[in-house]
Structure 1
Amino acid sequence: MNQLPILRAKALEASFLGVRTFHRLRPVTPSARRSWPVFRVGAGEVALTVDDGPDPRWTPALLDLLARHRVPATFFLIGDRVAEHPELARRIVAAGHRIGNHSLRHPMPFAALDADRLHGEINHAQQRIHDATGVAARLFRAPSGGWSARVLAATVDAGLTPVDWTVNSSDWKEPGVGQITRTLSRAGSGHVLLCHDGGGDRSQTVAALGTVIPRLLDRGLRFVPVPDRPTTAEEA
């Protein structure tokens, strides 16, 4: 098996770690780079994003928590899981949250896929989401942040805005409620937070967010959905 595409994909994914750090430290998204993923929201705002659902146990628990605090989030849904649990996708929409496309099956490394499969993963997921909810997703997040020029081109071809993050909770590793809480509590103005409601036991995530959400609200930050277009330098 030719490992070169996979090695190139992993190198591209690693390069975005530096980009995420830059955007976390400097509250500007260059307006000239509209094809790059969204890393930030507006000044005084923070966006909670949730990947890998819907999940029959953890998505309802998270929705209940968000409802108690009257906080909107952006859920990046996996197409096959939407087909399995369409009622949960509809519940997310009915609760007023924004939904995004997170591919059909979450293959990794995503950036190593050929162009035909990239388009299939995005477009088939888009159809599953629309069939379940009646809503056309306008946002896309590559599985595990697996961006490349080809992934970005496929995203734009589908009419979607690519979305990344600036604060990664690493909750998929199940590092403990305390560690997730500390990581997310470091979020500041304009940051995009990454959490998960699918793919494993997300009890730690739900518990941590029960502390983090009121903590960030008490600091004067306002939770917003990810916008359909990047935030410019003038808006940040």
Structure 2
Amino acid sequence: MKTRLIQELKRLIRAWLLRSTRNRPEVYLTFDDGPHPVGTPALLDVLRRHEVPATFFLIGTAAERFPDAVDAIVADEHLIGNHSLTHRHFGQLGSLGQWRQMRAAERILRRHDRLRGRPFRAPQGRFRPLFGLWLALRGRGPIHWSLDSGDGGFTDVDELVEHLREHPPGPGDVLLFHDDSPVTPRALERLLPEWKAAGLTFARLPGWEVGR
């Protein structure tokens, strides 16, 4: 019974947070697990060519290792989100441990865009209800997704493209990708023109300014 109540509370928090995008006309591309020394620059090149904004949920320790990639994200006016300090075992931490991971990553990311607040996405979407409620009441997240691209499960770009053609995004969708997937940039190179031709428009997640 307790487990069901916890899962229901998490579902309600996610549904409440997705309300801000559900009735909007744009699609929101989001990228987790960066920055990546190869994947992030490749994604930025594709987004730049197609003039598409996005939101990158970055891991704090990776941002310390690859600061130039973070600066490139900011320079292209994409939004930086918080994806915890280390990512590993985040879902196993208690509420206080998750809060500490979020705050530590925040201090690192703030060096790059100087924002005082940013969206947070929990690794694998796993968070403690108390921590999630704390974020929600402050308008920080936890940001979920309405459509998972599944890019982490594909090694063939044609298969990923076909999968997303069968399950395309629609207005208001928050679409999940990953910086460290080698097939994602090539798939988006083909899909973004198709999605634009179908009338879709793209935006950063709403509610936050973009740092420079």
TM bucket by the smaller chain?
A: 0.7 to 0.9
Aligned to 2:206: 227
1:132 counterpart letter in structure 2: H
Aligned to 1:190: 172
Using the TM superposition, give the Cα deviation of residue 211 of structure 1 relative to its aligned residue in structure 2, in angstroms: 1.3
Alignment deviations for residues 10-53 of structure 1 (CA, whole Å, 9 cap, x no partner): x849x97xx6xxxxxxxxxx9xx698332635433101000000
Where 1:61 maps in the other structure, the secondary structure is: helix
Q: How high is the TM-score relative to the length of structure 1?
A: 0.76
Does residue 105 of the first structure (1) align with residue 89 of the second (2)? no
Q: Kindly indicate whether the alpha-carbon contact (under 8 Å) linking 2:81 and 2:120 is maintained by their aligned counterparts in 1.
A: yes
Point out where structure 2 has 5 or more consecutive residues left out of the alignment: none
Point out where structure 1 has 5 or more consecutive residues left out of the alignment: 20-29, 230-236
Distance 1:72 1:228, change over 3 A: same
CA distance in 1, matches of 2:135, 2:75: 26
Aligned to 1:23: none
Distance 1:137 1:216, change over 3 A: farther
Alignment deviations for residues 115-158 of structure 1 (CA, whole Å, 9 cap, x no partner): 22111111001111012332344201110111441231342477
Q: How does 1:63-102 map to 2 (within 5 A)?
A: 63-102=44-83
Aligned to 1:141: 121
Using the TM superposition, give the Cα deviation of residue 190 of structure 1 relative to its aligned residue in structure 2, in angstroms: 1.1
Aligned pairs, number: 203
Identity of aligned residues (%): 35
Distance 1:102 1:109, change over 3 A: closer
Aligned to 1:179: 159
Q: How high is the TM-score relative to the length of structure 2?
A: 0.84
Distance 1:44 1:60, change over 3 A: same
CA distance in 2, matches of 1:188, 1:35: 17
1:116 counterpart letter in structure 2: L
